[in-house]
Amino acid sequence: MSHKKYTIAMVNYLNAKPFLYGFKQVEGISEIFDISLLNPAQCARAFQYNEADIALVPAGSLLTLQNYKRITSYGIAADDEVRTVCLFSNQPPELWKEVVLDDHSMTSVILAKLIIRDVLHIRPSFVTKKIENHVLAEGQATLMIGDKVFQYEHFFKYKLDLATSWKKWTGLPFVFAVWIAKNDIPDEIIQKLHPVFEYGLAHIDEVIAQSPEDPQLLALYYKKYIRYFLDKDYEKGLDTYLNKAGTL
């Protein structure tokens, strides 16, 4: 086997920490893979521009990426509430004139636009900004994703969890991210990822213990909200999302 090291792009969010834990703990893995920790949109760009051989990419990026193959049955998903992908506002949706988008994930942006158009039936304009320090004006809502939701969610009067909205709308779970690899990555390299993911997901309590976040919050997040194994229902949810995304 070649001694080439393969570059992996993955998110540094809490929801991917179990995968990262596996990479750190499984013996010999660091000799095969180099890990780059990025936000979701950056993971897709790294893969697109051949800066990563393997990546955990936002599901929405599959609409534009080329030269890839889906690998493993693992990803990041939710079967209902997800907690960390939400629309926030201090006014009800019927008063929203503009939605400020978090640019870290194409998947969530597309999902937000679908929910706004087809579930809420409103037609606000959209603008992309760094949303952490943005103060909402009258008639504004914001899409916020990732760990920062736990920090900021209490500052708003209205919260719409997008995975919950998707489940009510379609009856299906929602897939936020999937693992992909370049088409020429050998199967024996791909196979080495399975024990990494299995180990990380089997040691969630250790992942929680290493985090500075509230352990009760993390236990709820990992064990109730986030799903990592994508069965047929999740694949159907992903296909449905990609089809609907094409209507925007």
Instruction: Tell me what pLDDT residue 146 has.
Output: 85
Question: pTM higher than 0.85, yes or no?
Answer: yes
Per the listing, tokens 């990546």 go with 55
What tokens were used for 83? 């907690």
Backbone angles phi, psi at 35, to 5 degrees: -105, 130
**Would you write out the chain's pLDDT as a tens digit for each of its 248 residues?**
446 899 999 998 999 999 999 999 999 999 999 999 998 889 999 999 999 999 999 999 999 999 999 999 999 999 999 999 999 999 999 999 999 998 777 899 999 999 999 999 999 999 988 776 678 899 999 999 988 898 888 899 999 999 999 999 999 999 999 999 999 999 999 999 999 999 999 999 999 999 998 999 999 999 999 999 999 999 999 999 999 999 99
CB 9 within 8 A of CB 42: yes
Domains contained in the chain, CATH given: 6-78+173-245 (3.40.190.10), 85-170 (3.40.190.10)
The closest of 189, 157, 241, 198 to 29, measured between CA atoms, is: 189
How much is the pLDDT for 41? 87
What is the rounded CA–CA span in Å between residue 109 and residue 46? 19
Query: Angle at Cα 101 formed by Cα 60 and Cα 65, nearest 5°?
Result: 20
What is the torsional sign of CA 67, 73, 74, 75? positive
Q: How far apart are CA 226 and CA 204, in angstroms?
A: 12
